[in-house]
Chains A and B, each alone.
Chain A
């Protein structure tokens, strides 16, 4: 099956909201696993990578959780396919660069994804919309347990699961939440929050850029340490931190609405003005303006606009999704024009932001 025939349409995949999705865009847990007695992919020769990939892939694609799913060697995917997968956060950029000897397995609704022979033999992730950190952990934990019956993992009694990079050693777990924090950025509090969270031993980074420069005001919080602490404890700590950030973001939005309503409405009104009327829009501009429109929707300023529509626009204005939609390969300049056309047409029926004075 072709990847394009398999992938859930962008509007459907964006329609799945989740708890606390005014702030939490998605929750994800990734586990790194390796097969006992086989050199890590980075060290293995191509022939040995191909061999291990052949040995591992059927166990993954044959798992009951993968029924109705998609499986492909990375060499069999087109460049655009790979980029679509990156934009959907289903594979890493490193994996997109792989060809023979690496593979990808997805489940039917794209909530489980397994990269075979990325940096480790197995990189498996569960991804759900909104604040569902505990649910994604349960999902990936169950899947991992089902695989351990068929694959013999490299495991050491004192070091736990052995990984190519020592930073993943032990649990091999990376728990992360993608957060939309326009309130904290507009009130200049985001750096403070970033510092506080990093002091707790977590990493915070802009999804597309750093600090206040983070595109689309989107940040990712994740654990740094993987050894010496159980999965349950790691999950619990990230869960607590994210709940606190949600509270700060919610407060920041209320502060803006009450203290500086004109400034806030100005930002959102201008964002709407640009996207509804511009003819050339870079992906950077579209992300920043869509972020403000999303904020406006969540504050009840757009009656006719649903969050899911804004989230879909976030996705389909990305380079690969845009090219897939238009149906041809586009240069950067052409993309900016098509992106603007798309945004104008989607926003044409939407009344500007309503402000209750």
Chain B
């Protein structure tokens, strides 16, 4: 049996089976590729990485234009080869082709966990501002002008706080 990695013609000597989400997945690798992929280390290796990396690349091909990251020069071909991205900006550049893959891979595509403290205050203000703006719109639509005036003042106050923080 041949090694399943692209551009590799060696005889496969490492055969791996892993059950992910109830589905059995098999990979056959030659010794070199196995070492390369860290397969010999059960700690650092997830077959999923390898499989998702391969699966993802075919999905990414469906996006016609060859995207390239302006910050690090990473291309879709690079992603196909490594299953990894090059830098933070790549996530913006490849957002569209990544979306489907992330949906498959994770519970959702919106982060709901920890936020660095420095960003938390900023994000909170943004959230509050959006919520107030929405309430203000509603108040205007329902011609509740007294409420609208109160909300407008609150919004003004919040914006002044936000700009002070950003300027500091």
Contact = CB atoms under 8 A, between A and B. Distances in A.
Nearest to B43: A92
B18 A205 contact: yes
Interface string B89-115: 001000000100110011111111111
A94 B109 contact: no
A121 B115 CA distance: 18
Contact of A228 (B98, B112, B118): B112
B8 interface: no
Contacts of B40: 93
B113 A171 contact: yes
Given A155-B119, A198-B19, A203 B38 contact: no
Contact of B113 (A158, A162, A170, A204): A170
B71 interface: yes
A43 B114 contact: no
A213 to B, nearest CB: 10
A264 interface: no
Give the one of B21, B84, B114 with max A CB within 10 A.
B114
Given A39-B86, A39-B87, A119-B84, A160 B71 contact: no
Q: What is the interface residue range for chain B against chain A?
A: 35 or more
Interface residues of A, number: 62
A227 B102 contact: yes
Interface in A117-161: 119, 141, 144-145, 148-149, 152-161
Interface string A69-110: 000000000000000001001001111000000000000000
B111 A171 contact: yes
B88 interface: yes
Contact of B110 (A119, A158, A194, A204): A158
Nearest to A157: B123
A59 interface: no
A349 B116 CA distance: 55
Contact of A93 (B43, B56, B107): B43
A141 B114 contact: yes
Interface stretch (A8-16, A30-38, A311-319, A336-344): A30-38
Given A166-B105, A206-B42, A229 B84 contact: no
Given A89-B43, A162-B91, A203-B20, A228 B84 contact: no
Nearest to A205: B42
A265 interface: no
Contact of A227 (B42, B52, B86, B109): B109
Given A36-B88, A156-B91, A166 B111 contact: no
A231 interface: yes
Contacts of B121: none
Interface in A206-239: 206-211, 220, 224-231
Contacts of A34: 88
Closest 6 CB pairs of A and B: A228-B108, A160-B111, A93-B41, A228-B107, A43-B86, A92-B44
Interface of A: 34, 36-40, 42-43, 86, 89, 92-95, 119, 141, 144-145, 148-149, 152-162, 164-167, 169-171, 173, 194-195, 198-199, 201, 203-211, 220, 224-231
Given A171-B111, A198-B20, 20 more contacts: A40-B85, A43-B84, A43-B85, A43-B87, A86-B43, A92-B43, A119-B84, A144-B114, A158-B110, A158-B111, A161-B114, A165-B85, A166-B101, A166-B102, A167-B46, A167-B52, A169-B106, A208-B42, A229-B113, A231-B113
21 contacts: A39-B72, A43-B85, A93-B44, A157-B123, A158-B111, A166-B52, A166-B105, A167-B49, A167-B105, A169-B106, A194-B19, A203-B48, A206-B42, A211-B17, A220-B43, A224-B46, A225-B105, A227-B105, A227-B110, A228-B107, A228-B111
